[in-house]
Every structure is written in structure tokens, then in C-alpha cells.
Amino acid sequence: MLIVSASRRTDLIAFFPKYLAEAIKKRKIEVKGPFGYKYRVDLTPDNVHTFVLWSKNFSNFIENRFGLKKLLSEYSQLYLHFTITGFGGTEIEPAIPPAERAIEQLDKLVDIVGAERISIRFDPILFYRKGKKIASNIDFFPLLLEKIKEKGISRVVFSFVQYYSTVVRRFKRNGVEFIDPSVEEKLKIGERMALLSKRYSIKLFSCSQDFLTKVDGIEKSRCIDAEYFSQIHPLGWKIKHVKDRGQRRECGCSKSKDIGDYGMGCPKPCIYCYANKKVNINYGVI
């Protein structure tokens, strides 16, 4: 039995719903890994403990495009990572819906999977300068907490943007300058976020940035968490936590099989994304 991740590598729900639906219909998929090797994943529902969906726009799932919602309903447990940064529809995330439209999807998602099976990713936190203007999404965080509290969602995962060379070059091409706060400044921001989260009874998790766990109220994230998935599984199925050695050193995730491909890309990639170097239309971008 395994955990399926769809996907850390690209937004299958938003941009490749047909690809994902066809894979589920076939009950198997061959995936090209990040270093060029290929592996097969058995997608038979009885073989999948939890199907984890990552997206910045779940409208294709909600609207059952290509039969996606119906096909995924055959699995015993779905878990959703919904990224809402506050940058949707801007030059930072040009292909992503504005935050208010993303938040509107939450009621339907809660109806489908339950609030305990949804994590909100406020990821990444970004500071930048364009011309004389300094901008950030950090001021959006209090409103985000207020909205998700209304929906009964109680888990938020966050991190500060990481400055990969490909990302820095993309920023420069767009006339945008990175601002990277010091560790001390990031800890102070984390303290404010933790206090706000506590006020709303929301658990706050740091993704692959362990220095933030020094702050009271911030826990190390397991975005794919076999122990938590076992606790909330509707059929009581259990699966053991085994650390995923294929992820970054500070990643706390349990082992899973990711069925996305970095080569797929996304149309109009988010400006901070390290994964998108090109768009490959052969996968059927819509």
C-alpha cells in the first residue's frame, strides 16, 4: 500500500487534468523521475492509502472535468494541499486565480473531502522590489486565516522563498529585485504568524526550513504525513511513516510515489518557481 502524490513537480489538477484522469483510468502510470530514470506506479484504488492532490486551482476537480472528481472518488482517502499565496492573478503568479476566487473553492472542497483533509499552503512568503515599490504577500496572511477558519480548516504550511539561480535570473528578466530578509527578520515574522494562528486555533507548520521551528507555535511540517493520514483515514487503514529520502534534507515527509514530471512545466509559470524552465505542450496544457 502506498501514498500517491499528484504532484509536487507540476500542477496536475490545474493544468493537466486530462493526463491525470487518463492515468487513473489505466490504473497505472510510468513516470520520468527528476534524474531521468523511469518508474511505474500502481494506481489501483486498493493499493493506494491516500491520494494527495497539490494545486493552486482546484476548479477542474470541483467541476469534474474529464471525469476527474468521479475517478478520484474511487480512492478511500483524498488529501488536498491548496496553495493560496495572495499573489494569484498578478505578475508573480500570472496563471493563478486571484485569492478571492481561490477561497471561494473552499466550501465545495470541504464538502467533498472534509476540512481535516485540507492543508492551506501559504508558500512561499516573498519580498521584492520593482522600481521604487517594495511588495510582499505577508499582509495577506491575517485575512487568509480569517477565511479558512470560517471553513473549519486548521492546518497552514508556509516557507520563505528560496533563491535558486534560475529563479533569480527570471526575476531579473522581469525587472524585479529579490529582497531576502535575514534569519532574525524571518524569525520575527514567524513569531507574528504564530501568534495570529494561535488566535484562530490554526496549526502552523514550516516546510523544509527547520530554523523556523525555534518559534513557539511553529511545527516542522510533514506535508505528506503517513501518521496523520492514518489517524483520519475513513476506513481506518494504517500506513507506517518512513522518511522520504528523495526529498530535501530538511523535508519531513513520509515516503510517497509522485506521478508528476518536472518536464511538463506550467503555462506562464509563477515567477519564483524553480521547477519550471520551459512549457512542454505535448502533455496537453489547457
Residue-wise pLDDT for 49-58, tens only, equals 999 999 999 9
Q: Say yes or no to pLDDT of 182 above 90.
A: yes
Q: Say yes or no to pLDDT of 239 above 50.
A: yes
For the CA atoms of 41, 42, 48, 51, the dihedral, rounded to the nearest 10 degrees, stands at: 50
- Least Cα distance to 180 among 157, 162, 206, 158 occurs for 162
Q: Report the number of distinct structural domains present in the chain.
A: 1
| Averaged pLDDT for residues 25-45 | 92
Q: What is the pLDDT of residue 263?
A: 83
Q: What is the CATH number of the domain that holds 222?
A: 3.20.20
**CA–CA distances in Å: residue 66 to residues 62, 63, 82, 111:** 11, 9, 20, 20
Q: What is the pLDDT of residue 281?
A: 31
Domain that holds residue 98: 2-283
